[in-house]
């Protein structure tokens, strides 16, 4: 059984799902699952109402033969299943929501090829109200949210919250995965917004 304690407690074992994407706190991530190791992982998560970890896959393939080496980022995000469906036998569709960030302290690969890790949860970054300087970012995000539709965007909005706006923009903008990972690891909403603003200005989007 996998479990977690709050930040500051001893690290606990967490199953990992390395993916070619970055999940942010409060984000929505749909996942199509057909590998047995991850189907079993999801079943355990549902049975015990526990999260698993999503980390950016930096080397290797998402769907890899047994024994294949994978490398992933050491900072990831908890994913909790909010909905699931099995449209056909052997294929699971799960909708997940991003929770707290975590740091991988140690990891190993189990006999079923599932990566598991001892992790430490990271505290939420300090809150930051959106200033006039970054209002164009919040306005652009609201426009993007309307275009991509509620099914691909968190249901609860917080356009006055600098962390929320920064995380959501990092999700939807066409940034290199390495930059998306950096946006996750930064523990300062102001720094994240500044970097994103410079990108948007360069792209002439604001």
Q: Render pLDDT for 181-195 as a digit per residue (tens, 0 to 9).
A: 999 999 999 999 999
CATH of 12-121, one of 3.40.50.1820, 1.10.287.70, 3.10.129.10, 2.30.130.40: 2.30.130.40
- Report pLDDT for 173: 94
pLDDT on residue 8: 41
Cβ–Cβ under 8 Å, residues 89 and 65: no
Q: What are the boundaries of each domain within the chain?
A: 12-121, 132-202
Q: How many whole angstroms separate alpha carbon 155 and alpha carbon 195?
A: 26
Beta-carbon contacts of residue 165 (< 8 Å; ≥ 6 apart): 130, 134, 137, 138, 141, 158, 159, 193
Low-confidence ranges of the chain (pLDDT < 70): 1-11, 64-68
Per-residue pLDDT at 3:
43
Question: What is the chain's mean pLDDT, rounded?
Answer: 89
CATH topology of domain 132-202: LON domain-like fold (1.10.4060)
What integer pLDDT is reported at residue 81 of this predicted model?
Answer: 95
**pLDDT reported for residue 156:** 86
User: Within the chain, where are the H helices?
Assistant: 36-48, 135-148, 162-172, 177-185, 189-202
């Amino acid at each position: 059984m996998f479990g977690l304690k709050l930040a500051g407690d001893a690290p606990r074992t967490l199953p990992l799902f390395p993916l070619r994407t970055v999940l942010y706190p409060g984000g929505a991530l749909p996942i199509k699952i057909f590998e047995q190791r991850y189907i079993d992982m999801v079943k355990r998560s549902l049975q015990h109402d526990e999260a698993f970890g999503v980390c950016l896959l930096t080397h290797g393939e998402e769907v890899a033969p047994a024994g294949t080496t994978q490398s992933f980022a050491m900072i990831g995000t908890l994913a909790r299943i909010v909905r699931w469906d099995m449209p056909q036998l052997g294929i699971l569709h799960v909708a997940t929501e991003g929770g707290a960030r975590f740091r991988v302290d140690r990891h190993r690969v189990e006999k079923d090829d599932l990566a598991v890790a001892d992790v430490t949860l990271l505290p939420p970054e300090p809150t930051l109200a959106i200033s006039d300087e970054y209002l164009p970012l919040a306005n652009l995000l609201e426009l993007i949210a309307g275009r991509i539709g509620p099914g691909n965007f968190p249901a609860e909005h917080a356009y006055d919250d600098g962390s929320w706006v920064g995380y959501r923009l990092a999700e939807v903008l066409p940034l290199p995965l390495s930059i998306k990972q950096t946006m996750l690891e930064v523990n300062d909403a102001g720094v994240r917004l500044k970097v994103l603003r410079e990108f948007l200005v360069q792209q002439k989007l604001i």
